[in-house]
Amino acid sequence: HGNLILILGDQLTPHISALAGADRQRDTLVMAEVHDEASYTNHHRKKLVLLFSAMRHFARALQEDGWQVHYHAYDPASDRRSLEDVIRRQLAVTGARRVITTECGEWRLDNEIRQWAQRLDVAVEIRLDDRFLASKEEFANWAKGRKQLRMEFFYREMRRKTGFLMTPDGTPEGGQWNFDADNRKKWTGRPPAPAPFRVEPDAITREVIELVNGQFAGHFGTTDDFHFAVTATDARAALAHFIDFALPCFGDFQDAMSETEDWLFHSILSPSINCGLLDPREVCEAAVQAWYAGRAPLNAVEGFVRQIIGWREFVRGIYWLHMPGYAAENRLGYNRDLPWFYWTGDTRMRCMHKAIDATRRNAYAHHIQRLMVTGNFALLAGIRPEAICDWYLAVYADAYDWVELPNVLGMVMHADGGYLGSKPYAASGKYIQRMSDHCANCHYKVSHSTEEDACPFNALYWHFIHRHRKQFAANPRMTMMYRNWDRQTPERRQALLGRAEDLLERLEQL
């Protein structure tokens, strides 16, 4: 008998390790759209369309390449509701005695798969996912003995390891590791932002859109205007589009937000990278080549490469180092419910409305919206980490537990005690005003703090600073904030705290 080779929905990579040494004649590849994976969170409908359509295209390409593929298409009436059900059936059908797969990205499912040997009485071989630059073991070795982990130092290791933007004598190109100081410009419409790369849905995608709208009608978001790449070929075209049109300005406007442009100069490649259509090394290589060819400046290319070989690998390392305990962390002791407007966008706070509405339409919001708008608000309002994590896991096409959880629980909510980030990303309305044109169109006044029409971020920010004095006053990166707070008159401080308490009482109405 041949083996069963399981390929998960985010393993759509021809060189995935599970396929190494496989036999086209004897082995059966298994891919399955199943209820349990499609329903463990309120996945955005565009995320479901992306995964199901990309899986179907990938299975077809494998078949055309001579592989035997058992493809379980989503069927609400099927008695196979989980990947385990599908594997159990295929073991019986084929008589296979061994299941081979590549390690799964989410602790939840990884934990289940590791029980299959016993539960299904079969040999289960789990191979390393070599699409990541650093293995779990390599990251654990790097982290060993360090009290606090800093992305910047890990990133330098990855630069040395890959040779990206390194001179032959081992120094960073441009004489600096990091050019972030150049990357904080507000965008005022010039140069115009490029239209995002679009693929019109083909027959497979159109069928999946119908399926998702029929079977997942209660799920968040809309399938309208679905235009993500669903094949490796399309994803490569999207990469080329980004390099040509957006990368040159990626650095300058990385932190900008806009009333009119959803995508600005971002790559929108995370949905493709995370499900395996694009290899992260290939993406970085293309960006680096653009710099050598003089087609993009170093601050843009370095910043972009850092997000992928630095942040992306760093958060994955932390996830596997600390799961499953990490998911339960709540060091700031937060327990407020997520306001309902996170699901509707129905709030008078313009920046929140814009970020949530884009999320609903696109299954996408760029980094600074996730971090400094919807994330910042959840931090200031003291939302229960589990609730805000589940929201982020559901609403973005690129969301998987391994990357979402450290970003939300660690970076945004500071619920891990500052293990991932050295200082909380808390900010008042002033920051949002500096980086966007939202405030001019807002119901609330960003220049007011205590009045009825004052921007809620302002008083909530000072409330946050005040309520966490014990945790943060000794942090050198926060000293200035405490000095500013202490400089205010007692009356002013009372008024700010009073206003914040009032806002916290009626979050749903903001």
Which residues lie near ligand FAD (CB under 6 A)? 266-270, 273-274, 304, 307-308, 311-312, 315, 366-367, 370-371, 375, 392, 396, 398-399, 403-404, 407-408, 411-412
CB of 108 to ligand DLZ, least distance (A): 8
The Cα-based distances of 129 to 20, 234, 420, 439 in angstroms read: 12, 23, 23, 44
Beta carbon of residue 155, minimum distance to ligand FAD (angstroms, whole number) = 12
- Burial per residue of 120-134, b for 16 or more beta-carbon CB atoms within 10 angstroms, e otherwise: eebebebeebebbbb
The interface region with ligand DLZ, picked from 31-39, 211-219, 405-413, 435-443 by CB under 6 A, is 31-39
DSSP state letter for 79: S
Q: Which of 4, 12, 105, 253 binds ligand DLZ (CB under 6 A)?
A: 105
304 vs 431, beta carbon nearer ligand FAD: 304
- CB under 5 to 8 A by kind: which of ligand DLZ, ligand FAD, none does 403 bind? ligand FAD
Q: List, in sequence order, every beta strand (DSSP E) within 199-261.
A: none
Q: Which 3 state secondary structure label does DSSP give 340?
A: coil
| 269 versus 277: smaller Cβ distance to ligand FAD | 269
Supply the minimum distance, in Å, between the C-beta of residue 150 and ligand FAD: 14
Nearer to ligand DLZ, 105 or 456 (CB): 105
Interface positions, 148-187, toward ligand DLZ (CB under 6 A): none
Strand partners, 69: 29
Q: Which of 59, 104, 269, 393 binds ligand DLZ (CB under 6 A)?
A: 104
Shortest gap between Cβ of 372 and ligand FAD (angstroms)?
A: 8
Query: Which of the listed partners (ligand FAD, ligand DLZ, none) does 407 bind, with a CB threshold of 5 to 8 Å by partner kind?
Result: ligand FAD
Shortest Cβ distance from residue 242 to ligand DLZ (Å)? 24
Give whichever of 37 and 262 is closer to ligand DLZ, judged by the CB atom: 37
Q: Judged by CB, which is closer to ligand DLZ: 58, or 197?
A: 58
**Under the criterion CB under 6 A, does residue 48 sit at the interface with ligand DLZ?**
yes
Helix axes 313-322, 136-143, angle to 10 degrees: 80
Q: Which two tokens stand for residue 380?
A: 């200031």
Q: Does residue 324 have a cis peptide bond before it, meaning omega lies within 30 degrees of 0?
A: yes
- Distance, CA of 81 to chain centre: 26
Length of the chain: 510
The residue (of 33 and 234) whose beta carbon lies closer to ligand DLZ is: 33
Instruction: Tell me the Ramachandran region of residue 243: left when phi exceeds 0, alpha when psi lies from -120 to 50, beta otherwise.
Output: alpha
| Residue 416 contacts ligand DLZ per CB under 6 A | no
Stretch that binds ligand DLZ, among 3-11, 254-262, 307-315, 338-346 (CB under 6 A): 3-11
Asked if 229 is part of the footprint of ligand DLZ (rule: CB under 6 A), the reply reads: no
- Residue 149 contact partner, candidates ligand FAD, ligand DLZ, none, CB within 5 to 8 A by sort of partner: none
Site for ligand DLZ in 236-275 (CB under 6 A): none
- x-or-dash pattern for ligand DLZ, window 395-414, by CB under 6 A? -----x--------------
Which stretch of DSSP H or E encloses residue 391? helix 385-395
Least distance between ligand DLZ and beta carbon 496 (Å): 42
| Contact flag: residue 8 with ligand DLZ (CB under 6 A) | yes
* Helix intervals (H) in 80-191: 83-94, 107-113, 116-120, 136-143, 151-162
DSSP structure string for 248-313: HHHTTTTT---SS-SSTT----HHHHHHTSS-HHHHHHHHHHHHHTTSS-HHHHHHHHIIIIIIIH
What DSSP designation does 443 have? Answer: S
**8 touches which of ligand FAD, ligand DLZ, none (CB within 5 to 8 A by kind)?**
ligand DLZ
| CA–CA dist 284, 306 (Å, integer) | 9
Q: Rounded to whole angstroms, how far apart are CA atoms 177 and 497?
A: 41
**CA distances to 154, 316, 344, 423 from 391, in Å:** 29, 19, 12, 23
Contact residues toward ligand DLZ (CB under 6 A) are 8-10, 32-34, 37-38, 43, 48, 51, 104-106, 109, 400
